[in-house]
Structure formats: C-alpha cells, structure tokens
C-alpha cells in the first residue's frame, strides 16, 4: 500500500529541515521524492567525495530533487541552476533557503521500512530495505 503527500514550502523555510520535520511528524518509514519544483536564495550542498559543504547566495531554480526519506535516515540530492542556466548539484544539506516556493510531492510505502546500516560494502551507513509482513 502506498500514500502520496503533496504540500508547499514557503519563502524563508529551510528545505532540508522542513523535509526532515515532515518525515518525523508523519512518521514516514519508507518514502521518496516524487517531484519538487521551486527556488532558493541560498544553498548548501556537499559535492561528490568531499567532506565539507559548498554554499552560495543568489537566485536559483530547483531543477531536480531526488532521494529516499525515512525517520531512520534520508539521502537526498539536489540540482540547481542560476540565472544563466549554469547547474550545480550535490548532497542536500541544511542551509537551502526557499525563495518563492518549493512544491513537494512525496511517495510513501506502508509495506517497507528504509534503514541506514553499515553492511560492509562501503564505510558508510547505506540503504537497507526491509519488507513488512514477509517474516
């Protein structure tokens, strides 16, 4: 069984903090970003294979937001474009401030739980999917 959540984030809200809060309040165990369109005035992202984040201020369009959501840990990537169309992307971090809107559609499965655990394949806690009702 699945459920769809649709909502709008408002100017000044932090994109990651707002998503984390929504996941907690709705106790989402296994969710994903179906779509997101909107804009930011500030962003903070972590680029591939980097320890620290990269930040900038201005006006940016959200051209993509993808990833998994769970009260057990989320993993989100964002792509942004500036007024010239130059695009940058990376791991979503706190510090992404909504400019005019972020129109969110999130899917949720009630048949799974997304966990984050070390499995020996990498040094990090990676996605582990648990099917409910199969035990």
- 116, 76, 120: which is closest to 96 by C-alpha? 76
pLDDT in tens, 34-60: 999 999 999 999 998 898 999 999 999
Q: Write out the two tokens for 94.
A: 């706190």
Report the pLDDT averaged over residues 110-123: 95
Whether the CB-CB separation of 102 and 29 falls below 8 Å is answered with no
* Architecture, CATH, for domain 2-131: 2-Layer Sandwich (3.30)
pTM beyond cutoff 0.85: yes
Q: In Å, how far from its chain's centre is CA 35?
A: 10
CB neighbours of residue 124 within 10 Å: 10
- pLDDT value of position 133: 83
Question: What residue ranges do the domains of the chain occupy?
Answer: 2-131
Q: Write out the two tokens for 74.
A: 């989320």
pLDDT in tens, 1-20: 899 999 999 999 999 999 99
Beta-carbon contacts of residue 23 (< 8 Å; ≥ 6 apart): 31, 69, 70, 71, 74
pLDDT(21) > 70: yes
């Amino acid at each position: 069984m699945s459920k769809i959540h649709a909502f709008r984030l408002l100017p000044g809200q932090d994109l990651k903090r707002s998503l984390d809060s929504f996941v907690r309040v709705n106790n989402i165990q296994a969710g994903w970003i179906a779509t997101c369109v909107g804009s930011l005035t500030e962003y903070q992202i972590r680029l591939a294979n980097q320890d620290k984040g990269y930040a900038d201020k201005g006006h940016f369009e959200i051209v993509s937001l993808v990833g998994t959501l769970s009260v057990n840990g989320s993993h989100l990537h964002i792509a942004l474009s500036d007024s010239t169309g130059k695009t940058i992307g990376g791991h979503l971090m706190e510090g992404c401030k909504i400019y005019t809107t972020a129109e969110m559609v999130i899917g949720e499965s009630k048949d799974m739980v997304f966990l984050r655990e070390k499995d020996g394949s990498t040094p990090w806690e990676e996605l582990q999917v648990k099917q409910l009702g199969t035990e």
